[in-house]
Amino acid sequence: MAEAVDYRYVGTSPVRPDGVDKVTGRAQFGADQNLPNMLHGSVLRSPHAHARIKSVDVSKALAMDGVHAAVSGADFPSVQSGEVGGEGGGDVADIAKNVMARDKALYHGHAVAAVAATSVEIAERALDAIEVEYEPLPPVLDVVEAMAPDATLLDDNCFTKNLPEKPDKPSNIASVMVLARGDLDAGFEQADVVVEGEYRIPMAHQGYIEPHACTATVNEEGKATVWCCTQGHFEFRAMTSKILNWKIGDLKFIASEIGGGFGGKTVVYLEPVAVLLSKHAGRPVKMVMSREEVFRATGPTSGSVCRVKIGAQNDGKITAAKAWLAYEAGAFAGAPVMPGAMSIFAPYEIENFLVEGHDVLVNKPKVAAYRAPGAPQAMHAFEVALDDIARQIGMDPLDLRMVNAADEGTQAPYGPKFPAIGFKACIEAAKKHPNYTKPVPEGAGRGVAAGFWFNIGMQSSAEVRINEDGTVIVMEGNPDIGGSRASMGLMAAETLGVPYEQVKTYIGDTESTGFCNVTGGSRTTFATGLAVVQACEDIIAQCKSRAAATWGMDDDQVEWQDGQAVPAPGVNADVSPLSLADIAASAPKTGGPILGRASLNAQGAGASFSVNFGDLKVDPETGAVEVLSFTGIQDAGKAIHPAFVEGQMQGGAAQGLGWALNEEYIYDADGVMENAGFLDYRVPVASDLPMIDTQIVEVPNPSHPYGVRGVGETPIVAPLAVASNAVRDATGVRINDLPLSPPRILAALSND
Amino acid sequence: MSKMHIRTTINGDQVDFLGSPQQSLLDALRDEVGKLGTKEGCGTGDCGACSVIVDGRLVCSCLMLAAEAEGAEITTIEGIAEGDGLHPIQEKFLEHAALQCGVCTPGFIVATKALLDRNPDPDERTIRYWLAGNLCRCTGYDKIVRAVQDAAQELAHEA
Ligand code: FES
Ligand code: FES
């Protein structure tokens, strides 16, 4: 393990640079952009979960007073199939049809037409005047039934991908994937115990508090400017360009502050529509979703059915593991079943395994990335089955995980060998944690589970500018969703050797900074951080050579120490050190403004493992579950801003517990979501939760100068199984499915 | 639709605006008065992002008609800071990293102000139940609750 390094700024938790604006109401979020002469856009949504669209006539709406534009699928170009970068965005041809339905409405709430009018009220009335002729079709709502050979098809051209041969019949299975190693039969033969189960989890929503919103204005030259809340304005620009068949250079995207995303704001819904409406109307158009629209028409994550079988010896060693995963993609291909399959066994060294995944179309909204997309569902199943193994062989669940834990050099189930990873360190920390060594409170149960996420690198750019007084501007292109400006500022301060207060970080628009992939995949602090560090190193190199020129030395006779240029050891010179401020002040005489930059496609993202445990209590009368305590332990590699790392761990835990205990999409037989509001789709509130204890483990990622791994996604993974395992421990009854809502718990207790 | 003239006091200033009879106070604040610090998360009274104080009472401005605010004294997030400095609640939210995305923050700060105005020394349970009408999807509430506890202490010292 690498030595712990003492840093001056990295590892401290100062106030974020955008903080004051965010506690005073100044910060501008998606819905806060208003322009003179602006219109309001609204979307007409399908009342059917599955229907052929025979015709759409917007003429009556367009004729109304105050209505300035109306569009439907016919106004959008047809789009070539192709991937757009980012996290789980999917095929852009599908995204185009999701943004505006063409010949078929594929879920209740699917956009069918849109208008722009002088007020929201007029726009809403105009929607009523749009005439749509539908031919309703039977909705396909259950993932397993959707896979049947005689199921109603969502898409007659969907032929299952990745089969050895192209099938001769279309189906709702968009693709399959398999990962396998070793000899499964031999593995199960060596087992002393075998546990097998099927685990179902319904769709859940990211639940960001800020609904999607954007304002677009297209001028007479055909140049568009779009303000929106997004996790990646560069990718929103690329998607909009493809969906409208406009040149990238004609589109400028400005990311507002973003009120949460968790993966759900990595894909466009409103933006291409607003641009088209603005183009037709010749005026700016603002569009803001209602909460109901957010639930019905934007990215939940997949509902899933996972079947798992594990064989283990009495000493805890897993001899074989098998999994079958079916994930709901919603209306278009793209369920995160691949990352689900790649993550399910990732924390463990298993010789013999097989996992099969299925990406399945159903008449529900097209899923979008949600924090560690695909991992919570699959890992819940495995971690619950593993808990049953521990019970059967009478082993502490942490010990069982330690026996099988992946470590440096273990070949990950998805291919590469792990470099240094922190899973064992997390298990050890859990074992010693006072919350684990203390007895389980009377009447409660304790659950333990592991979590994992790959983390990703991808493309980032950063620019660092030195002001005349030596203060520092960092410019990058990743919307700050949880304090990343502060983390960038800390890494810049550390690298340059100047106080954090002298550094300000800004998020540029698509025309003022270089390309950055989305804020997602837990990549920002890692990859964009790497770009910031490299841009600072560029500054240092330039400052050294300016100092060398000033002193009449060679560049290599100068070093950078504590924020100043000094003669290198052994260089004899009677000069005083030159600080960044000194060099900035004399910049006009040494070559002009000081500007550093870096762009990269980051490699070597470090996987982040976690161990979580919690004590939960079940009320046998009401079926309500109370979380008495919860502890998250996670390897961050290096926590640049520890308070925000803890915040990621706590927030992810709350989302995971919400999904485990309450959250679910409830559909009626017609495919209409019955709980499309925060009253009935119940996310955790303050009184539902205790303080969430955290312990950050730091096993540095060798591919980052400060050891960063990325922390945002892993925290949501383990809480699902922690809840299941704690409820099992508390009640003696194993409930395989989520959520562990009161009715489900009461039913299980009464069956027992 | 003809509009109504509504006179209110917002953050100490007399503010007159024209609102339609159906308009919520939230929409009036945002669209007529330009107080964009008050956020909409749901429009149905379930998230607290739109919290404001009306005549000393904490309300969801999305559930109140603008017309009902006639003659009322309203405090929005823009009115919490004192002079050219932050209010201790705001300071403590920053110090404790009690915001990640920050869209829930105006609502939480206004709700916390309303709590501490009536109960300067709330225990954790009281804080959690008082703030149960404010959703935060990012933080898991831990740091928010700690910020509120710390703000209460700070205000007690100041008093
Ligand atoms: S917007 Fe008023 S409570 Fe959500
Ligand atoms: S900080 Fe994002 S919702 Fe609270």
Q: Is the CB of B107 under 6 A from ligand 1?
A: no
Chain segment B67-117, per-residue pLDDT in tens: 999 999 999 999 999 888 999 999 999 999 999 999 999 999 999 999 999
* pLDDT of A682: 96
Ligand 2 atom 3: residue of nearest CA: B136
Could you give the domains of chain A? 19-26+457-598 (3.30.365.10), 374-455+606-751 (3.30.365.10)
- How many Å apart are CA A147 and CA A172, to the nearest integer? 6
CA B56 to ligand 1 centroid distance, Å: 19
- Chain-chain contact of B131 with A207 (C-beta, under 8 angstroms): no
Residues with CB under 6 A from ligand 2: A 209, 260; B 99-104, 136-139
Ligand 1 centroid–CA B61 distance in Å is 7
Does residue A412 carry a pLDDT above 70? yes
pLDDT in tens, B42-57: 999 999 999 999 999 9
Mean pLDDT on B24-31: 98
**Domain boundaries along the sequence of chain B:** 4-79, 88-158
The torsion angle over the Cα atoms of residues A532, A534, A536 and A540, rounded to 10 degrees, is 180
Pairing of strands A444-453, A353-361: unpaired
Helix (H) or strand (E) holding B99: none
Model confidence at A2: pLDDT above 50:
no
- Quickly state the pLDDT bin for A436 (edges 50, 70, 90): very high
Residues A284-330 have pLDDT tens digits of: 999 999 999 999 999 999 999 999 999 999 999 999 999 999 999 99
Mean pLDDT of A362-383: 98
Enumerate the residues of chain B whose CB falls inside 8 A of the CB of residue A650. 139-143
Looking at residue A411, the DSSP 8-state letter turns out to be B
Shortest CB distance from B103 goes to which of A210, A652, A692? A210
Q: Whose CA is nearest to atom 4 of ligand 2?
A: B136
List Cα–Cα distances, A438 to A430, A433, A701, in angstroms.
12, 9, 32
Share in percent of chain A as helix, strand, coil (round to 5): 30, 25, 45
Q: Is any atom of ligand 1 closer than 6 Å to the C-beta of B49?
A: yes
Please tell me the distance from the alpha carbon of residue A358 to that of residue A356, in angstroms, as a whole number.
7
Domain at B88-158: CATH code: 1.10.150.120
* A76 band by pLDDT with thresholds 50, 70 and 90: very high
Testing ligand 2's pocket by substitution, the residue of B42, B77, B93, B100 carrying the most ligand atoms inside 8 A of its CB is B100
Query: Would you call the peptide bond into A739 cis, given omega within 30 degrees of 0 as the criterion?
Result: yes
In terms of DSSP bridges, do strands A692-697 and A625-635 run parallel, antiparallel, or are they unpaired?
parallel
- Our answer on whether the CB atom of B127 is closer than 6 Å to any ligand 1 atom is no
pLDDT of A224 above 70: yes
| pLDDT of B159 higher than 80 | no
Q: Name the H helices within A506-551.
A: 529-551
Strand partners, A626: A617
3-class SS at A213?
strand
Q: What is the ipTM, given to two decimal places? A: 0.98
Q: Where are the alpha helices (DSSP H) in B34-122?
A: 88-95, 105-118
Is the confidence at residue A519, as pLDDT, over 70? yes
* Rounded Cα distance, A293 and A395, in Å: 48
Q: Which tens digits make up the pLDDT trace of B135-154? A: 999 999 999 999 999 999 99
Local confidence band at A88 (pLDDT 50, 70, 90 cut-offs): low
Identical fold between B4-79 and B88-158 = no
Question: Looking at the domain that runs over B4-79, which CATH code has it been given?
Answer: 3.10.20.30
The reported pLDDT for the residue numbered A85 is: 60
Token pair of A81 as six digits: 């199939």
The reported pLDDT for the residue numbered B1 is 63
Ligand 2 binding pocket mutation candidate from A209, A229, A231, A481 (most atoms within 8 A of CB):
A209
Predicted confidence at residue A89, as pLDDT, reads: 66
Model confidence over A160-218: pLDDT tens digits? 999 999 999 999 999 999 999 999 999 999 999 999 999 999 999 999 999 999 999 99
- Rounded distance between C-alpha atoms, residue A685 and residue A692, angstroms: 13
The dihedral of CA A483, A715, A12, B136: what is its sign? positive
Distance CA A251, CA A238 (A): 9
In the predicted model, what is the mean pLDDT of residues B13-29?
A: 97
Is residue A502 predicted with pLDDT exceeding 60? yes
pLDDT, tens digit, for every residue of A607-660? Answer: 999 999 999 999 999 999 999 999 999 999 999 999 999 999 999 999 999 999
User: In this predicted model, what pLDDT tens digit does every residue of A565-609 receive, in sequence order?
Assistant: 999 999 988 999 999 999 999 999 999 999 999 999 999 889 999
Residue A3, pLDDT above cutoff 60: no
